[in-house]
Amino acid sequence: MRTFLTATIGGLSTAAIYAITASGLVVTYTTSGVFNFAHGAFSMMAAFMYWQVHVAWGVPTLPAIVLVVFVVAPLFGALIERVIMRGIEGTSEVVKIVVTVSLFVALLGLANVIWPPTQSYTVLPFFNNAALSIFGVKVGWARLIALAVALAVAGGLRFVFTSTRLGIAMRAVVDDRSLLQLNGGRPGRTSMLSWAIGAGLAAIAGVLLAGEQTLSATTLSLLVINAYAVAVVGRLRSLPGVFVGSVILGLLVAYGQQYVSSEAAIGPVSLSGAVTAIPAVMLFVVMVLQPQDRLEARGATRVPTAARMPSMKLALWGGLAFVLVTAALGNLIAGPDLFKVAGGYLFALVMLSLVPLTGYAGQISLAQMTFTGIGAVAMAAWGASGSPLAVVASVLLCAVVGAVVALPALRLSGIYLALATAAFGLFCSAMVFNQQDVMPGLSRQVPRLALGPFKISSDYQQLVLLAVTFALVGIGLVALRRSAWGRRLAAMKDSPVACATLGLNLTATKVAVFALSAAIAGLAGSLAGRTFISDEFGLPASLPVTMLAVVGGIGSVAGAFMGGIFLGAFPIASTVFAANAIGVFRFVSLPVTDLVAFAPGATGVSLGREPDGAAPQMAAGFRAVGESVPSLVVSFAGFAALWLLARLDVVGGWAFVAAVLVFVLAVVPLLPLLFNPEDMGRKLATGIFVGLCTVVTVFIPWDTAIASNGMRALVIVLWAVLVVRTAIGVHGAVPDVVPRGPRTSPDMVGIDTPLTRADAVDAGRVLGIDEDELDLVTGRSQ
Amino acid sequence: MTVLELESLSVRFGGHLAVSDASLRVEGGRVTGLIGPNGAGKTTTFNAICGVVPPSSGRVLLDGKDISSAGTHQRARLGIGRTFQRLEVFGSLSVADNIRVGQEIRRSWSRRKAALPQYLDGLGDPSPDVELAAILTRLDLVALADQPVGALPTGQARLVELGRALAARPSVLLLDEPASGLDEQETDAFGDLLLQLASHGLGILLVEHDVPLVMRVCERLSVLDFGQIIAEGTPAEVRANEAVLSAYLGTGPTPAPGAPGAAPVEAQ
Ligand SMILES: Nc1ncnc2c1ncn2[C@@H]1O[C@H](COP(=O)(O)OP(=O)(O)OP(=O)(O)O)[C@@H](O)[C@H]1O
Ligand SMILES: [Mg+2]
């Protein structure tokens, strides 16, 4: 009985913390329309900040709390809204999700930079953990404070939303921003305020949590993911729902901790992670219980250009060229580096799985590495001899699991799929990938493929296999996009409601595309041919995959490859830099390793400024290459020449790699422009510039100038990017970036552009008002 | 013959009754008009008919069968088609592809079904290309076939929505302000098209603020105000109805002869 009471009281105080964070989440979501995946990271930052102010700088408890919760956090929230979130208003749900996911990744990286995990951070609980005795149960003051704060937050929010002008405006803004604007409200300001409040609430939770454990950035950020499960109870919008959900989850977790021992097992299945998995399970149960979402007919956003599709011919030639280039390049890379490059290719293949799902159908998944993990483990279990049949079976398994996971979420709106997949990733980490039978010692080797007598036996062959797979799947996806089904997916992305009124079963279509996506991710796992550790399948590993796939330019096969190589390059760089902390590259005392931790997230956050991703700019150039015969000829001739120089040992391996990168990234996309006869002077300048850059690249003594491989790789990539940027600068921007149209106000139905005087005169004619009277009328109505 | 019937339909948004106890019939082979001032509940009625919003009470009958519990896509398969007041075109696809999607979705569910209504020459042709060409030709969109719809002016985009809906070959078609964005000449041609479609058996429910068009093509009119049907009858009857006049003009004088009952168009 006493243990039960202790657990109950503990559960309620945990519930209090969930309630506080989740209400912050709900406030920002309802007001700004952006579901903040980085909310947990906000709490984490606040906890560390509190440590910094209180422990490191010795500021007393109360002023420290006031500073963190009421000053720093709200300012930070407002800043985030102003700088990042306002830019993504009116973009697709996918972009919104990816931007906050990127923020999550970036903040996590930033925290690891400012507070390196090599050190230990502890904060004493409030009142030195003094306790009070209630019904004979000792209860820490910290817990009582949490409860009291939660009640105060509940009361405070209720007051703000029902009784203040501002609160009512905050509720109105989500219903229709433009409508509020027309009525004289200021959506920007309310939205900013909601981010400030949300960040403040996150900070309260962070400070309350700080006393409970040694601070760990990852654990803290993910712990607050529990708040997502709670928010779903109130359909992400209701504060009372949040409080009910918090109590349920808090108690479940507390009883779980009390009564399920970490050695418990059902048959061979260990329950050591069961308590961690409770929020994920709850999220699913709540989703299943919810009624199907309504469709909305609010007008589809119209973009003035058609989505471009590569032609089948381009896809086939591109695939072939990709395999050949990989084979040639792989030939020149030494043993251990091959393995790392293969890592990048594997990521690229996983990102390819997001092309149909996110690029074509506009849905999102945050758990692609989990599916990769399922594919990998299934292959290890069924295909010890590397049998292709086992690959097929693993892929099918992933498709089925994917369909089952997606079904409850797909009945609801897009944000739920993101939540459900995140929960699925956490669930698998807690209950699947930590099982002895699944990943003995938390690692598992995936056997390499054997096709009849031919067995993949070297890293080089493995790399080529991945390249071939990538090319085939990529060609398949292009074919899919060009088929009737692909057209249907694009249509569904543009307007789900229109598709439904034509007779399309939206749920079935989305489940099918999700299953396809899971299958491709699983294929990557089953063909990986290497050893995985269980952390590689966790949520923190999946988030950057989704993020960089979108940043690379979702919807295009090339974008997936760019994203994959980008992601693959980071581990290379960071291991090398960690090994030799090179002083030269310290920048404001920030080691390059730290930049590497921080950079992926930062790139994702910038997506708000260019929601189409990085690839479109270059893709526009590459696409034109396929249509211009001289460009094609020069491309292949250039590549062949470089390869020949390398083979003849005129240039070293690294100079070759660098030259190829610069050539492919900077020269090739500019070729069609260069062969275009207009504006000769400028073109000549650009041509000479990129030509010179390539030559310079070949003659930089890469092998001797830089000591380590990873460093070289990174510097080369940076160099290539620099050349591209500068070349575009020399030439002037490549046009073709799709402008975002403003959302039409409901009052301007049927008129997509701002009203002009001519429109008013027309309208006046219908009303029987002539032009002179019009000024009188409009004057009166304002 | 009645194809679509609403029986005391009500739709509630929180505390706001957007449609209240509305009953309405749509006959096959003619155009029925649904008019009313801004915010009267016309679009909401459409949404309730095709299952985009759930009614709080009342029934929707199609060919005498209650379809109130069917989902949106099921209702579409039973024969309800529509266009949208706030455009829901597939903006990233070309004009032809927009209509193709309509055809392809229909083909994915209609194989087993008996003959669908055929109101254009070429519609229902076994070759999708012939069918597509027939629709494009009749809507005068041939020249724009490869244009991305996102770049089209509103009027043309509305025609694309119409073509797409026709490609699914519904037995009743709901049109929500289809003529806004068309100029006078185009509106005339559009009226002819509606009459042609109706003469081949299609039931059309038309929401439109262009009064001359409504007066010309509709055989019967229902007038919605504050969610309630306040009048029903032939255009001439409705035009003379006191309640209608006051709904449109406040309590007011007789409307100008050219534009009786014209809804106020708000300029800003
Ligand atoms: N999703 C919704 N939530 C809340 N209220 C709504 C919603 N959709 C419509 N309404 C309200 O219902 C009423 C009827 O709106 P509706 O769009 O059906 O009018 P309408 O007759 O189509 O007007 P218009 O001529 O301007 O198109 C309006 O007061 C509107 O504000
Ligand atoms: Mg309307």
Closest CA to ligand 1's atom 30: B39
Give residues with Cβ within 8 angstroms of A373, minimum separation 6: A428, A432, A433, A525, A532, A534, A536, A537
- One DSSP character per residue, A429-445 reads HHHTTTSTTTSGGGEEE
φ, ψ for residue A767 (rounded to 5)? -80, -5
pLDDT of A591 > 50? The answer is no
- One DSSP character per residue, A634-687 reads HHHHHHHHHHHHHHTTSS-HHHHHHHHHHIIIIIGGGHHHHHS-SSHHHHHHHH
Low-confidence winner among A314-318, A569-573, B178-182, B197-201 (lowest mean pLDDT): A569-573
For residue B120, how far is the Cα from the chain centroid?
17
For residue A434, how far is the Cα from the chain centroid?
24
> How many Å lie between the alpha carbon of A753 and the closest alpha carbon of chain B?
10
By the CB < 8 Å criterion, does B39 face chain A? Answer: no
| Tens-digit pLDDT profile for residues A457-516 | 888 899 999 999 999 999 999 999 999 999 999 999 889 999 999 999 999 999 999 999
| Tens-digit pLDDT profile for residues B167-223 | 998 999 999 999 988 888 999 999 999 999 999 889 999 999 888 999 999 999 999
- Please give the ipTM for the structure prediction: 0.90
B185 and B52 assigned to the same domain: yes
> How many Å lie between the alpha carbon of A495 and the closest alpha carbon of chain B?
6
B73 and B178 assigned to the same domain: yes
B189 and B257 assigned to the same domain: yes
Q: Residue A613 — left, alpha, or beta (φ > 0 → left; ψ -120 to 50 → alpha)?
A: left
The more confident residue out of B247 and A306 is: B247
3-state secondary structure of B172: strand
Determine whether the shortest distance from the Cβ of B180 to ligand 1 is under 6 A: no
pLDDT of A293 > 90? The answer is no
Among B209, B205, B215, CA closest to B180 = B209
Q: Give the model's confidence band at A84: pLDDT under 50 very low, under 70 low, under 90 confident, else very high.
A: confident
Identify the residue whose tokens are 């699925």: A424
Q: Which of B123, B143, B169 is the last residue of a domain?
A: B169
Residue B245 lies in a domain: yes
- B residues 3-32 lying closer than 8 A (beta carbon) to A: none
For residue A486, how far is the Cα from the chain centroid?
24
pLDDT of A77 > 90? The answer is yes
The more confident residue out of A393 and A694 is: A393
Given this model, what pLDDT does residue B89 score? 92
Structural domain boundaries, residue B8: 1-79+170-268
Instruction: Tell me the average pLDDT across A314-332.
Output: 85
The DSSP bridge pattern shows strands B228-233 and A137-140 to be unpaired
All domains in chain A, ordered by first residue: 2-259 (no CATH), 312-567 (1.10.3470), 614-731 (no CATH), 746-778 (no CATH)
Could you tell me how many CB contacts below 8 A there are between chain A and chain B?
162
Residue B254 lies in a domain: yes
> How many Å lie between the alpha carbon of B210 and the closest alpha carbon of chain A?
9
Low-confidence winner among A288-297, A324-333, B126-135, B201-210 (lowest mean pLDDT): A288-297
A353's tokens: 């799985």
B162 and B57 assigned to the same domain: no
pLDDT of B242 > 80? The answer is yes
- CA of residue A562 to ligand 2 center, whole Å: 45
| Tens-digit pLDDT profile for residues A158-207 | 888 878 777 777 766 655 555 555 555 566 778 888 899 999 999 999 99
B23 and B45 assigned to the same domain: yes
A463's tokens: 């790399």
Map A200-212 to HEC letters: HHHHHHHHHHHCC
B66 and B106 assigned to the same domain: no
3-state secondary structure of B43: helix
By the CB < 8 Å criterion, does A684 face chain B? Answer: no
Which residue type occupies B66?
D
The answer to whether B134 and B120 have CB atoms below 8 angstroms apart is: yes
Map A111-179 to HEC letters: HHHHCCCCCCCCCCCHHHHCEEEECCEEEEHHHHHHHHHHHHHHHHHHHHHHHCHHHHHHHHHHHCHHH
Given this model, what pLDDT does residue A75 score? 95
Given this model, what pLDDT does residue A581 score? 38
Length, in residues, of chain B: 268
Give whichever of A295-309, A629-643, A655-669, B5-19 has the largest mean pLDDT.
B5-19
Q: Which of B148, B169, B190 is the last residue of a domain?
A: B169
B174 and B199 assigned to the same domain: yes
Residue B84 lies in a domain: no
The answer to whether B90 and B165 have CB atoms below 8 angstroms apart is: no
Low-confidence winner among A506-510, A529-533, B69-73, B244-248 (lowest mean pLDDT): B244-248
> How many Å lie between the alpha carbon of B23 and the closest alpha carbon of chain A?
22
Residue B184 lies in a domain: yes
Given this model, what pLDDT does residue B256 score? 42
Given this model, what pLDDT does residue A561 score? 77
The CA–CA distances, whole Å, from B242 to A1, A136, A188 equal 76, 78, 45
- Chain A residue numbers with beta carbons less than 8 Å from the beta carbon of B256 are 768
| Ligand in nearest proximity to the CA of B176 | 2
By the CB < 8 Å criterion, does A761 face chain B? Answer: no
Q: Residue A215 — left, alpha, or beta (φ > 0 → left; ψ -120 to 50 → alpha)?
A: beta
- Picking from B54, B87, B268, the nearest residue to A755 by CB comes out as B268
pLDDT of B253 > 60? The answer is no
B150 and B195 assigned to the same domain: no
A427's tokens: 């669930």
Q: Give the model's confidence band at A331: pLDDT under 50 very low, under 70 low, under 90 confident, else very high.
A: confident
Instruction: Tell me the average pLDDT across A390-411.
Output: 93
Residue B90 lies in a domain: no
pLDDT of A532 > 90? The answer is yes
The more confident residue out of A250 and A779 is: A250
Mean of all residue pLDDT scores within chain B:
86
Given this model, what pLDDT does residue A295 score? 66
Residue B256 lies in a domain: yes
pLDDT of A606 > 70? The answer is no
Q: Which of B169, B203, B220 is the last residue of a domain?
A: B169
- CA of residue B11 to ligand 1 center, whole Å: 10
A422's tokens: 């995140």
By the CB < 8 Å criterion, does B116 face chain A? Answer: no
pLDDT of A693 > 90? The answer is no
CA-to-CA distance for A276 and A352, rounded, in angstroms? 30
A752's tokens: 């997509």
Determine whether the shortest distance from the Cβ of B43 to ligand 1 is under 6 A: yes
By the CB < 8 Å criterion, does A506 face chain B? Answer: yes
Given this model, what pLDDT does residue A504 score? 94
- Chain A residue numbers with beta carbons less than 8 Å from the beta carbon of B88 are 297, 299-300, 495, 497-498
The more confident residue out of A226 and B89 is: B89
- CA of residue A746 to ligand 1 center, whole Å: 10
Helix (H), strand (E) at residue A542:
helix A539-553
Share of chain A above pLDDT 90, in %: 28
B185 and B158 assigned to the same domain: no
- A residues 706-745 lying closer than 8 A (beta carbon) to B: 744
In CATH, what number is assigned to the domain containing residue B265? 3.40.50.300
By the CB < 8 Å criterion, does A299 face chain B? Answer: yes
Q: Give the model's confidence band at B152: pLDDT under 50 very low, under 70 low, under 90 confident, else very high.
A: confident
Determine whether the shortest distance from the Cβ of B44 to ligand 1 is under 6 A: yes
- CA of residue A629 to ligand 2 center, whole Å: 52
B135 and B245 assigned to the same domain: no
Among A60, A62, A35, A64, CA closest to A47 = A64
Determine whether the shortest distance from the Cβ of B49 to ligand 1 is under 6 A: no
Residue B88 lies in a domain: no
CA-to-CA distance for A295 and A277, rounded, in angstroms? 31
CA-to-CA distance for A143 and A133, rounded, in angstroms? 12
- Chain B residue numbers with beta carbons less than 8 Å from the beta carbon of A495 are 88-90
Residue B267 lies in a domain: yes
Count of beta carbons in the 10 Å neighbourhood of residue A749 = 19
- Picking from B43, B164, B265, the nearest residue to A502 by CB comes out as B164
B129 and B151 assigned to the same domain: yes
The CA–CA distances, whole Å, from A586 to A407, A577, A592 equal 49, 11, 6
Determine whether the shortest distance from the Cβ of B13 to ligand 1 is under 6 A: yes
| Tens-digit pLDDT profile for residues A417-429 | 899 999 999 999 9
Mutate to test the interface with A, among B89, B92, B107 (most CBs of A within 10 A): B92
Give residues with Cβ within 8 angstroms of B203, minimum separation 6: B3, B4, B26, B27, B28, B29, B30, B32, B171, B172, B173
Given this model, what pLDDT does residue A216 score? 84
| Tens-digit pLDDT profile for residues A342-351 | 888 999 999 9
The more confident residue out of A391 and A721 is: A391
Q: Which atom of ligand 1 is nearest to the CA of B37?
A: 25
Mean of all residue pLDDT scores within chain A:
79
CA-to-CA distance for A464 and A326, rounded, in angstroms? 7
- Chain A residue numbers with beta carbons less than 8 Å from the beta carbon of B262 are 766-767
B165 and B206 assigned to the same domain: no
pLDDT of A740 > 50? The answer is no
Given this model, what pLDDT does residue A47 score? 94
Give whichever of A106-110, A385-389, B120-124 has the largest mean pLDDT.
A385-389
The more confident residue out of B193 and A128 is: B193
3-state secondary structure of A533: strand
Given this model, what pLDDT does residue A546 score? 87
Count of domains observed in chain B: 2
> How many Å lie between the alpha carbon of A411 and the closest alpha carbon of chain B?
12
Q: Which residue of A has its CA nearest to B102?
A: A502
